[in-house]
Chains A and B, each alone.
Chain A
Amino acid sequence: MSGTTVNPARVTGASSVRRPRSAARLRRVDRIGDGVLHGICALAALLGVVTLLLIGYQIVHGAGPAISEFGLGFVTHTTWQPNFNLYGAGSVLFGTAVSSFVALLLGAPIAVSIGLYLSLLAPKGVRGIVAPLVEMLAAIPSVILGFWGILILAPFVQANIEPWLHNTLGFIPLFGPPQTTGASVFTASLILTVMVIPIIASISRDLFLAVPNEIQEGASALGATRWEVVRGVVLPTTASGVVAASLLGLGRALGEAIAVTQVMGAGSTIKASLFDTGDTLAGRIANQFPGAITEMHQASLYYLGVILLVIGLLSNFIAQWIGKRFDYARTMAK
């Protein structure tokens, strides 16, 4: 193509300004440069993928002895006695499920309300201040939140909230008598709630902001109150996204290790009461791994890691699938 263009140097008869040889070299350098940069970038991406696969392999490999010893029964067995080389994930699985569920139960409504406040209610100036503050909640390191949890939150909860709940709702076995230390599944759930809220709140705020204004205004014009606009337009169009956001929050709660170890009290049996001690998958690993000496103990902790990995990846996958499959707001925006 370049051959068809008229070379001004040839027209005037003077010698070419840009010598063809150097132009060829330039082209060659550019070709090589393009290839190299493309190659390096692709290599980096590949390295990321390989790392992810390697993580999966390494965790399963580490769990090898425990997998061959206990098999799938490990997941449901509730005894965990390192002294007798008996391991089962049942009790920590229970603790993980309960604490994450309570955290989500408390956190999701609050977070969605915050999302609604930030997207629809708050004046512009307030919005610009509150939104970063809520996100800053996610920036607090879990070790500090956990430390605050044991020294400040746990005594308060143990002295005030737990007795009150026990007295009013004590007929349900969930709300048993408070323990003396304040380390409890309930306190851990509260800490997890604090961690889950900023994640769900910021995603749901973005979702609510993406709901087309026309349909909201249409509802308002028909006489709907603000709440009715939310109830009838905003929430239905974003429901799938909110569920996906909650699942992402759940993933965060499931995988949290440090704060839970600090606050939950490392109980090793299943107890009905929320106010008793318990432990989670991640918390058990963080708590016992540094002191695990026998191979089987270590492998069993790796096995807990495998379960954690599977649950975490699963919730992530489902969240993305829901987000893609049912994202009404996004398809509307397009």
Chain B
Amino acid sequence: MSETAFDPTAPLTPTGNLRRRRAFNRFAEYGATAAAVLAVAVLAIVIYTVVARGASALSLEFLFTGEPTGIGPAIVGTGLIVLVATAIAMPLGVLIALYLTEFAGGRADRPIRLMLDLMNGLPSIVIGLFVFGLLVYGKTQSAFAGSIALAIIELPLIARGSQEVLLLVPNSMREAADALGVSRWRTVLGVILPSALGGIVTATVLAVARAAGETAPLILVCSVFDSRGVSLNPFEAIPNIPVTIFTLSEEANPTGFARAWGASLVLLSFILLASLAARVLLARSRSKVAR
């Protein structure tokens, strides 16, 4: 091509390419915008469908009674399973995050980070298989087994989220505590944890939102239950919302579908509200810690 020989004295003349380049640029910009619109539209359609179809099923009776009219026991059951899971995962996750940010030297740091990443990437059905083999095989299904499975799902989320905020705590605070002669554990418990608390709560709420909708492990370890009444015994299988939706969706039964939409609405509004709340909390605690 003649263009390769660069002549600095040549007058700057338009090649006529600019129009084509501009047009392609415009096209690419529209494409990117359209992709974003598409994603938001899918979200809107899913939420709209769930709300529109679920709202008609929703009533006080639906929320507070058992089968066949409502899903009350399932709501209580999901609450219990997730509560126990969080009670297990939150302390462990925070401790692992503390270990990573405050104690681990260079050598221990990487394998543990890798462990969290791998655990986060585990398919939830595999976690279900694991818990089935560990706690259910040869015994009976139980809510406790479900909690363990959900705890394994929550753990990396809480640990990574907490670690991020702990890293945001300014080093000057640690140094100030050191300068005052405060021992490490008092610094951690009295200075670092309180200032990172907002972020830790955020990470936990996000993990709860994720765990509440997790279905695959529960199908294996907590799915054969009596959904007529409320059960709080963690050592038997108790009704829960995700499995209820799944079972109803597999039966070709219109009234069952209506109940499944209602249950979906309950679950989805909880999850979306929780992640919204977490987002607000995060923004607030970020600005607080960084100050």
- Interface of A toward B, CB cutoff 8 Å: 30-31, 33-34, 36-38, 40-45, 47-49, 51-52, 54-55, 58-59, 61-62, 109-111, 113-114, 116-118, 121-122, 130, 132-134, 136-137, 139-148, 150-152, 194, 197-198, 201, 225-228, 230, 248, 251, 254-258, 262, 282, 285-286, 289-290, 301-302, 305, 308-309, 312-313, 315-316, 320
A58: min CB distance to chain B, Å: 5
Q: Number of A-B pairs whose CB atoms are under 8 Å?
A: 255
B 268-291 binary contact with A (CB < 8 Å = 1; else 0):
100110010001000000000000
- Considering only residues 54-92 of chain B, those with a C-beta below 8 Å from chain A are 91-92
Is there an interface contact between B125 and A305, defined as CB atoms closer than 8 Å?
yes
Chain B, residues 9-29, CB within 8 Å of chain A (1/0): the string is 000000000000110110011
A302 vs B278: C-alpha distance when bound (angstroms): 36
* Interchain residue pairs with CB less than 8 A apart (26): A30-B183, A30-B185, A34-B184, A37-B188, A41-B95, A48-B92, A48-B155, A51-B152, A58-B134, A117-B36, A118-B36, A140-B43, A140-B46, A143-B246, A144-B213, A147-B260, A148-B46, A198-B39, A227-B28, A228-B21, A257-B123, A282-B125, A285-B128, A285-B129, A316-B117, A316-B118
Alpha-carbon distance A320/B112, docked complex (angstroms): 14
By a CB distance below 8 angstroms, the chain A residues around B242 are: 141, 143
Residues of B contacting A141 with CB < 8 Å? 212-215, 242, 267-268, 271
Cα separation A132 to B279 with both chains bound (whole Å):
8
B200 part of interface (Cβ distance < 8 Å): no
Whether the pair A312, B126 counts as a contact (CB closer than 8 A) is yes
Closest 10 CB pairs of A and B: A141-B213, A255-B123, A30-B183, A113-B35, A44-B95, A41-B99, A225-B25, A33-B185, A117-B32, A257-B125
Other-chain contact of A58, B123, B130, B245 (Cβ < 8 Å): B130
Distance (whole angstroms) from the CB of A291 to the closest CB of chain B: 11
Question: Which residues of chain A have C-beta atoms less than 8 A from B95's C-beta?
Answer: 40-41, 43-45
Q: A137 and B126 in contact (CB under 8 A), knowing A36-B185, A48-B116?
A: no
Contact B219 A258 (CB under 8 A): yes
Q: Which residue of A lies closest to B245 (CB)?
A: A143
Residues in A with CB closer than 8 Å to B108 are: 42, 45
**Contacts beyond the supplied A52-B119, A136-B272: 20 A-B pairs with Cβ under 8 Å:** A34-B185, A37-B98, A37-B188, A38-B184, A109-B35, A111-B35, A114-B32, A121-B29, A130-B40, A139-B271, A143-B213, A143-B249, A146-B249, A151-B249, A255-B124, A257-B124, A257-B125, A258-B219, A289-B132, A309-B126
B249 in contact with A227 (CB, 8 Å): no
B186 touching A30, Cβ below 8 Å: yes
- Measured in the bound complex, the distance between the Cα atoms of B40 and A144 in whole Å is 17
Main secondary structure of the interface of B (DSSP, over half): helix
Cα separation A49 to B245 with both chains bound (whole Å): 33
CA distance A230 to B214 in the complex (A): 38
User: What sequence of 0s and 1s flags, for each residue 120-157 of chain B, a beta carbon within 8 Å of any chain A beta carbon?
Assistant: 01111111111011100100000000000000100100
Task: Identify which of B43, B223, B245, B260 contacts A136 (C-beta below 8 A).
Answer: B43
B92 CB contact (under 8 Å) in A47, A114, A248 = A47
- Determine whether the beta carbon of B125 is less than 8 Å from that of A286: yes
A34: chain B residues at CB < 8 Å are: 183-185
- Nearest CB of A to B264, in Å: 5
Chain B residue nearest to A50 in the complex (CB): B115
In chain A, what residue has the closest Cβ to B129? A305
